[in-house]
Amino acid sequence: MEVRTRFAPSPTGHLHIGGARTALFNYLFAKRYGGKFILRIEDTDLERSSIESEKVIIESLRWLGIEWDEGVEVGGPYGPYRSTERVDIYKKYVDVLFEKGYAYYCYCTEEELEAQRQELLSKGQMPRYLGKCRNLTEDQKRRFEQEGRKPTVRFKVPEGVKIVVHDLVRGDVEFLSDDIGDFVIVKSDGIPTYNFAVVIDDHLMKISHVIRGEEHLSNTPRQILIYDALGFELPQFAHVSLILGKDRTKMSKRHGSTWVEQYKDQGYLKEGLINFLALLGWSPPEDREIFDMEYLIENFSLERVSKNPAIFDIDKLNYINSQHIKLKSLDELTQMCIPYFVEAGYIKEDEAKSKFEWLKKVVKSVYEGLDYLSQIKDRVDIFFNNEVKVEEDEAKEVLKWEHVKDLISVFENKIKQVNELTPEAIRLLFKEIQKETGYKGKNLFMPIRVVLTGKTHGPELVEIIEIVGKENILKRLEFFKTWYN
């Protein structure tokens, strides 16, 4: 049997981290076993679905490197791949359920359904539809239609049946049909519900494994009933754990960004995010945390997916992403940082090419310790602004040292005498200053650092001086004299 998995998001917003994890697990499982991964859009929620959201989801998946073999924008033998384009297909199977006695029209109003729900709750019972319209006569149906009521179609759930979900992650999970109640499979506007459409689509698209979030487990018995009623073979189910915040509550905005697009914009690498997502509920067969897509495809299995909730730890994501940043070549990293330099107003977009070699030096001096690339904006201001601002209390204290003015005067004279500020020339310059003034260590380097950058911490001072260059070093020293005096 060919392994065929799918990701079927509703285009009602951005690609959530949980959805991205689901897509990744389906993709990895299919690729691990030489199968196919399908992208299907479930846009049956007409009010909330939009083409814009679909585009965002598609772009986010492609950015992550999760490509599909069949589906929207790619095509394939089992299309169309949007639910709203498959309504005629669903209707055929609704007719089959009517013929077999598994479906009936329901004319209950929202008010009647809510009253029934409240009554069951008041008795301490699970809310469910009690089958009021199961056995309506033709006269009753006609009367309801004359009142202007538009019926839904409900699935007739058999009574007293135990439904067992054979789950590849959770083992056997049992449900009782009497707790479900007859459920809607076609809404009053003629659009099928998720629970019905997903069964038809998965069957016709020959989906072998349905890998999805734990929140869908409660839907599965309804879907199994439809599979059985239509005589379809069941796929294998695997429900992966919820993603919780560090406080063990459902992940939300208070735990950090929740969309893939937000992480992309902040400068997380796709490799880092994929690596982190894989560890949300899955463990590798060996003791390591940093790996690429190729390793994941070779090693992913459902046997190593945990049934326990996955914890979204932003510190762990930052660590993993920082390791992937270090794996990038300097050219690649610089290219990826340029949009953030432009965004911060440090350079113009059309200057990037001519300044690329210089920008490489800037990036090289600060990339160590970056968790994500947008952080670079706050680390490189020292290279772009000759009007140095001293705002840290510690830096202000340094400028109060008695020898600062004389030291800076000597430093300025030495700089003027150097033709080219290479690292070797700068180191020699400091040796000469030390010999001439007697200052060394912190007393030598800290005042110069503060005068040139306004800060007490940052890249190596030799790197700063080389990158800033002689002309701008002298400008900063002039600015310092004006400000200091």
Identify the residue whose tokens are 């004389």. 406
Show Cβ contacts of residue 272 under 8 Å, excluding neighbours closer than 6 positions. Answer: 317, 320, 321, 322, 323, 324, 325
Cα–Cα nearest to 140, from 191, 190, 106, 177: 106
Structure tokens at 163: 């439904």
Show Cβ contacts of residue 288 under 8 Å, excluding neighbours closer than 6 positions. Answer: none
Q: Count the Cβ atoms, other than its own, within 10 Å of residue 332.
A: 11
Phi, psi of 185 (to 5 degrees): -115, -20
Alpha helices in 65-175 (DSSP H): 87-100, 110-122, 138-146
Structure tokens at 321: 């992403």
Q: Count the Cβ atoms, other than its own, within 10 Å of residue 141.
A: 16
CA distance 357 to 347: 14
Cβ atoms 275, 295 nearer than 8 A: no
Structure tokens at 34: 């030489």
CA 179 vs CA 131, 161, 188: distances in Å: 13, 10, 24
Encoded amino acid at 324, one letter:
H
Cβ atoms 164, 227 nearer than 8 A: no
- Cα 148 from chain centre: 45
Reduced to 3 states (helix: H, G, I; strand: E, B; else coil), residue 57 is helix
Encoded amino acid at 266, one letter:
Q
Structure tokens at 154: 């409900």
Phi, psi of 197 (to 5 degrees): -60, -40
Cα–Cα nearest to 29, from 238, 270, 320: 238
CA distance 361 to 117: 67
Catalytic annotation, pick one of 92, 132, 250, 253 = 253
Cα–Cα nearest to 225, from 102, 98, 44: 102
Name the DSSP class of 268.
-
Report the sign of the C-alpha dihedral through residues 329, 335, 341, 346, in that order: positive
Respond yes or no: is residue 442 known to be catalytic: no
Residues tagged active-site = 253
